[in-house]
Amino acid sequence: MKEPDTKQNKIQALRLPSLLLVASIGIMGIKFWAYERTGSHAILSDALESIVNVFAGAFALYSLWWSLRPRDLNHPYGHGKIEFLSAGVEGGLIFMAGMGIVYESVQGLVYPAALKQLDLGILLVALAGAANGFLGFLLLRHGKNIHSSALQADGHHLLSDAYTSAGLVVGLAVAWFTGIVWLDSALALAFAGLLLFTGYRLVRRALAGLMDAADLEVLPKVIQTLAENRRPRWIDIHNLRVVQYGGSYHIDAHLTLPWYVNLEEAHEEVTAMEHIAATHFHDALELFVHADPCIPTSCSICSLECAHRTSAFQESVPWTLSNVLSNQKHRLTA
């Protein structure tokens, strides 16, 4: 499996996140300027979230740089797990920002203050929101291309910030035309709820990655690829497990082969399966296969011509998510 450890690969992977971090600092400045000119609690909530954007972007960039380091004796699977830590920290920061916005919003409802220059504030928030939406789209696409959980989390965060800014523009426009002062704080409170939910979701996803929860997006693709390229001697594949390390997936699986094949032939079949996985997933997937001998109950699902049969072939068992993940050789159900 090819490691993303060359200098050129690192530069390409880090260039876009670095540029977007600089842009996020500029967007944060625009939002705080808008708050200073308007005194709007809703705009302040948007500006506080931008602080999170900057810190999270910096941490995501650092974690990506660290995850791209080559494997070593102390980290035989690489350093990619740090990306889940980054995503979890970002989720925690978003959650804390939401709590801070709740406090500011309640203060604004209890002690409402007059708003000023809302026309300028609306324009600045709209520009900042559009910029965040564009940056979030780029970051999310880049994160998916390199299988980076940290960058994808940061991209989702920027997109949610853009949606928040869009709703904020609408709410401020209503407050501007109607003169309802408390609407500003009520709007900020609603956006705080969105941030709390976003932060919770990111933390939950990060914990799932750190605890090696089954990736139900990758697993079906792997199973389908192996099934479509199935060789005659591959009686079944079971006990398949996937663990993500940054931009790479490590997979363990047991492959059932005819019991009479010699060691060299078994190695050939295992190597073929590993090659298929590496080819179809562009070296983002590392497959370690353990060869198992068939058992008498395997005869009914094995179509090979064999002088050692204990029963006739009946039908092949298709590989599905349930029987491939199970730690049991396949057999026909009664």
CB hemisphere CA count around 164 (13 angstroms): 32
CATH level 3 topology of 218-325: Alpha-Beta Plaits (3.30.70)
Q: Give CA–CA dist 89/203, Å, rounded.
A: 7
Closest of 82, 78, 79 to residue 90, by C-alpha: 82
pLDDT at residue 9 above 80? Answer: no
Q: Give CA–CA dist 191/165, Å, rounded.
A: 9
User: Which tops the pLDDT comparison, 64 or 214?
Assistant: 64
Q: pLDDT averaged over the chain?
A: 79
Percent of the residues in the chain that have a pLDDT greater than 90, as a whole number: 11
110 dihedral zone (left: phi>0; alpha: psi -120 to 50; beta): alpha
Q: Give CA–CA dist 330/321, Å, rounded.
A: 12
Tell me, what's the pLDDT at 236? 93
Q: Give CA–CA dist 59/283, Å, rounded.
A: 26
Residue whose pair of structure tokens reads 């079906």 in the numeric block: 220
Tell me, what's the pLDDT at 2? 42
Average pLDDT over residues 297-320: 88
* Band (7; pLDDT cuts 50, 70, 90): very low
CA 171 distance to own-chain centroid: 31
For 301-320, the DSSP string reads G--S--TT-SS----PPPP-
**Same fold for the domain at 7-210 and the one at 218-325?**
no
Q: Give CA–CA dist 106/327, Å, rounded.
A: 54
* Band (79; pLDDT cuts 50, 70, 90): low
Query: Lowest-confidence range among 63-72, 81-90, 225-234, 311-320?
Result: 63-72
Query: Lowest-confidence range among 37-51, 73-87, 187-201, 288-302?
Result: 73-87
Pairing relation of β-strands 285-293 and 236-245? unpaired
Average pLDDT over residues 1-29: 66
Structure tokens at 162: 């853009």
What are the extents of the domains in the chain?
7-210, 218-325
CA angle centred on 72, ends 67 and 77, rounded to 5°:
60
Query: Lowest-confidence range among 62-71, 132-141, 200-209, 255-264?
Result: 62-71
Closest of 294, 289, 291, 319 to residue 225, by C-alpha: 319
Q: pTM for the complete prediction?
A: 0.56
Tell me, what's the pLDDT at 147? 66
Q: Give CA–CA dist 297/310, Å, rounded.
A: 8
Q: Where are the alpha helices (DSSP H) in the chain?
A: 7-38, 41-67, 82-110, 118-145, 149-178, 182-210, 218-228, 263-280, 321-325
pLDDT at residue 284 above 70? Answer: no
How many Cβ atoms are within 10 Å of 60's Cβ, its own excluded? 29
Percent of the residues in the chain that have a pLDDT greater than 70, as a whole number: 81
Residue 72 backbone dihedrals phi, psi, to 5 degrees: -145, -175
Contact (CB, 8 A) for 283 and 271: no
Pairing relation of β-strands 236-245 and 248-257? antiparallel
Tell me, what's the pLDDT at 152? 73
Q: What is the pLDDT of residues 24-57, one digit of tens each?
A: 888 889 989 988 888 877 787 778 777 877 877 7
Q: CA torsion sign, 68 to 69 to 70 to 71?
A: negative
Tell me, what's the pLDDT at 254? 93
CATH among 1.10.10.10, 1.20.1510.10, 1.25.40.10, 3.40.50.1980 for 7-210: 1.20.1510.10
pLDDT at residue 10 above 60? Answer: no
Tell me, what's the pLDDT at 188? 73
Contact (CB, 8 A) for 273 and 287: yes
* Band (5; pLDDT cuts 50, 70, 90): very low
Average pLDDT over residues 317-334: 86
Closest of 127, 117, 100, 96 to residue 189, by C-alpha: 100
